[in-house]
Chains A and B, each alone.
Chain A
């Protein structure tokens, strides 16, 4: 795909086709940064023809559900990220809460969504040394992506803050709050 947005549009289209019962043999549809993986295709020539004929729709494309993520912006790397951006920590919070994000894909851990939406000029590197334990709910940045750690795990992303939301719950449908296609807005809240 040309970019993450196009991969997201193709994923949404394929998911709708499968929901309508049109891709019975496909066990998995896995979006990623620039690709969509179909696992379990039965009639490969027909599927190839279908995919070749596909064009991204003009305009905004399919709209996933909107999730608001209230976050306390007191992350260990907030000052460093603000310095990389050449702004104050307060301005960095405004920059991060401004965009409407979209979950491009999941990976790294169940329910860990890679969110796209932050303007390219705000890309930041991963930390040189990953932390051995990043707390669950940490709102973080790396490269072009924003993510929220669904549970405590090692991690190399820059930590901006934290949310009290439960990102991953296997008793919920879907288990991932930030599933591919979901649109996300971060809001800054006071600790408490």
Chain B
């Protein structure tokens, strides 16, 4: 079994898989990779199971030393990949010898790159997942200098080469929105304006939620909503009126009304939208 030692953790690098399911009723967020298609692509490229744990970087990349030979692949936000200073491929399997320095540079665009190694990151699972949950602190802490990450035994599958599309820099983020369950808590017309108005991705966005800057969505009802269950993609409107789109580390219950829910298929793009990116909502009928 091989391992990776962290040389530079970057601004925020965490271990992520498909997340914790079936424990939301205990107050446990789902966690997991924010850009799930990128996680799956990285795992296919290295021959892993779809749910093997990988590393999720945030804008600034990561640097690791291999403590044994590994096969790795980087997907998600495009970034320069280097092995001992020499350029290596993004979006393809790269065989790396022991004691090599692997660097994923700053993302050229997008936010989160994914680095998979054949065998997966083999930290001990907690409640069925190896994901770091930054809301409640479950799972492995974010990477720090010197962290040693065990790598699992190489998968039996032979990795299959594939062409991973290089994402183009997005001109803007468009999120579809199923209205409800609490659209009636907002002023008549506020929901229609939500679809017309222009928002931007706010700097306070993180793994818990994509926050927005833009015109406030006016409430028709004051007072508190008794706490209710929250789903991935729920768009909560706190008292300041700025919609908040829940991402993987979202709380399992909440007391602000949810005006609508963004379908999961749109959330990978949300995970890759940098602060300042123009954002609009498109209402889905029915």
Contacts and interface: CB of A to CB of B under 8 A. Distances in A.
A179 interface: yes
Given A34-B226, A36-B229, A105 B24 contact: no
Interface stretch (A49-57, A91-99, A106-114): A106-114
A28 interface: yes
Interface of A: 11, 27-37, 39, 105-112, 114, 170, 174-176, 179-180
Interface in B215-231: 226-231
18 contacts: A27-B21, A27-B22, A30-B25, A30-B230, A30-B252, A34-B226, A35-B228, A36-B229, A37-B230, A39-B24, A105-B227, A106-B25, A110-B26, A110-B28, A111-B27, A175-B28, A176-B27, A179-B26
A110 B251 CA distance: 10
Given A34-B226, A39-B231, A175-B26, 5 more contacts: A28-B22, A32-B226, A39-B229, A110-B138, A176-B26
SS of A interface (majority): loop
A107 B251 contact: yes
B253 A30 contact: yes
B126 interface: yes
B23 interface: yes
A93 B251 CA distance: 32
B99 interface: no
User: How large, as a class, is the contact surface on chain B?
Assistant: 20 to 34
Interface in B2-57: 21-28
B228 A34 contact: yes
Nearest to A145: B227
| Among all A-B residue pairs, the 6 with the closest Cβ atoms | A37-B229, A33-B226, A30-B229, A107-B253, A106-B27, A28-B24
B20 to A, nearest CB: 10
A107 B231 contact: no
B127 A105 contact: no
Contacts of B27: 106-112, 176
B136 A110 contact: yes
Nearest to B21: A27
A170 B127 contact: yes
B23 A175 contact: yes
Contacts of A179: 25-26
Contacts of B226: 32-35
Nearest to A15: B25
Interface string B230-256: 110000000000000000000111100
